[in-house]
Structure 1
Amino acid sequence: MTHITLVRHGQANTEARDEVSYDRLSELGHQQAAWLGAHLETSGAHHPRVYCGTLTRHIETAAGMGCAEVVQDARLNEMEYFTMSQAMEAQHGLAIPQEREGFIDHLPKVMRAWSADEIKDPPESWSEFEGRTRAVLAEIAAGDGPALVVTSGGFISMAMRQAMGLDSQGMSRIALAIMNTSMHRLFPIGGHLSPVLFNAVPHLDSLDRQYAQTHL
């Protein structure tokens, strides 16, 4: 096994309330990706293998980081949170927040209902999301050399849930904390992938860039 560094995409369209509208980087998101790419280059980080999901925000982030050869894999895509939020509103009367702060309470409620199979006809089941996350990470970990994976916050939080044995509410707290273009590393210990890095943004730590430490 080899270690895997997961990267959340840059800031996307924060005003969106549906999957299609959300799936593009903001101007700041492009800048965050460029800063991360420059940091990895100057720090001498070695990632002979680079992967990303097939969503526009994943592809744009990898490109903005300067990654030339990237393997796209749909199993690295995000859960369809907005689609499930619409289903929760229709089926259970849970209103979709209109302000960003409202998602702090909203996301755990959606995750709990999804994990309990209380959302009728979701885009994919909780178990399917679990399965594809586990499968693709196992395949990447079995390859040669450190891997860099550009994906989304929900996927990263599921990976951390599996590594740490968290319940859905613990996963929700992880998901809410993950910053745009943050790095998270899974390292093979005792035959299992264990977290050794979480939410690292060294490329955004300087005083003039702290404004770019975004969660949404």
Structure 2
Amino acid sequence: MGQIYLVRHGQASFGSANYDQLSELGQEQARLLGEWFAGTHQQFHRVVCGGMKRHRQTADACIAALPKLSRIDLDWETDPDFNEYDHHEVLVKHRPEFDDPGEVKRFLASSPNAKYAFQDIFQAAMSRWMSGHYDGEYREPWPAFQRRCVGALRKVMAGAEKSQSILVFTSGGTISTICQHILNLQNKQVAELNWSLVNCAVTKLLFQGDRVTLSTLNSYAHLEWLGKPHTVTYR
């Protein structure tokens, strides 16, 4: 039976001019994951990265922590179908004024509980995107994103040899949508699951042929073992 490890990228640079890069903590999270894999003697046969910078940075930091012999024969590939949805477009279609980064910063600065206020707004933006009433307004409507994520998973499975262990570096929305496919979740549950996924957490799938099951979801023991709460982040 084959194994697919879906890794959410490390903490990105939320609030900066370029979100698509790891923060210093994000680099540390990825390194800790690699050390955890090394300590548990986990062997991988393939590495698949989404096409985003934060995916590759997470992969590089994680794999660099593995023993040299474990890295030599790894097959690497990039598949943009594991990319995240366009969170900026989803947000701006709901709140057009947030197209201006300065307006987002002003909103966060003026909100007593900025993190939760922004989460409420983004949750509403996700509901709009998923509703099906405005599909023509988005470059990638929700059903198209679902098909892309499931298609990416199927490609990995179809290209795998029996009993392969495959590391996939991707994003929270992609992982949540793949879980929706496996567990038959409602759209609302996908959005809620997405909020709960920890940066650099691992979701493990088992597959045989075209059958796939969920083994573990959102595992981040590798971040907890240091006993430092700051290493566990969600944004």
Q: In structure 2, what is the Cα distance between the partners aligned to 1:210 and 1:195?
A: 27
Give deviations 1:135-156, integer Å, cap 9, x for gaps: 1101112212121100000001
Unaligned residue ranges in structure 1 (runs of 5+): none
Q: In structure 2, what is the Cα distance between the partners aligned to 1:192 and 1:108?
A: 32
Read off the aligned partner of 2:174 and give its amino acid letter: F
Could you tell me which of 104, 124, 138 is aligned with 2:119?
Answer: 104
RMSD: 2.2
Q: In structure 1, what is the Cα distance between the partners aligned to 2:153 and 2:133?
A: 27
Q: In structure 2, what is the Cα distance between the partners aligned to 1:3 and 1:34?
A: 21
Give deviations 1:70-101, integer Å, cap 9, x for gaps: 2111001000112210111139xxx9663322
2:205 match: 186
Secondary structure of the corresponding residue to residue 149 of structure 1: strand
TM-score scaled to structure 1, two decimals?
0.89
TM-score scaled to structure 2, two decimals?
0.82
Is 1:60 the counterpart of 2:79? The answer is no
2:38 match: 41
Secondary structure of the corresponding residue to residue 109 of structure 1: helix
Q: In structure 2, what is the Cα distance between the partners aligned to 1:187 and 1:108?
A: 30
Read off the aligned partner of 2:23 and give its amino acid letter: S
Give deviations 1:22-46, integer Å, cap 9, x for gaps: 1010000011111111111121112
1:138 match: 154
Q: CA deviation at 1:116?
A: 2.0
* Distance 1:59-1:207 versus aligned 2 partners, 3 A rule: closer
Q: CA deviation at 1:207?
A: 4.7
Secondary structure of the corresponding residue to residue 7 of structure 1: strand
* Distance 1:192-1:111 versus aligned 2 partners, 3 A rule: farther
Select between 153-162 and 206-215 the one with higher mean Cα deviation.
206-215
Alignment of 1:1-216 (within 5 A): 2-16=2-16, 21-66=18-63, 69-90=75-96, 98=108, 99-119=114-134, 120-142=136-158, 143-144=160-161, 145-188=164-207, 191-216=210-235
CA contact (8 A) 1:84 1:123 kept: no
Select between 5-14 and 202-211 the one with higher mean Cα deviation.
202-211
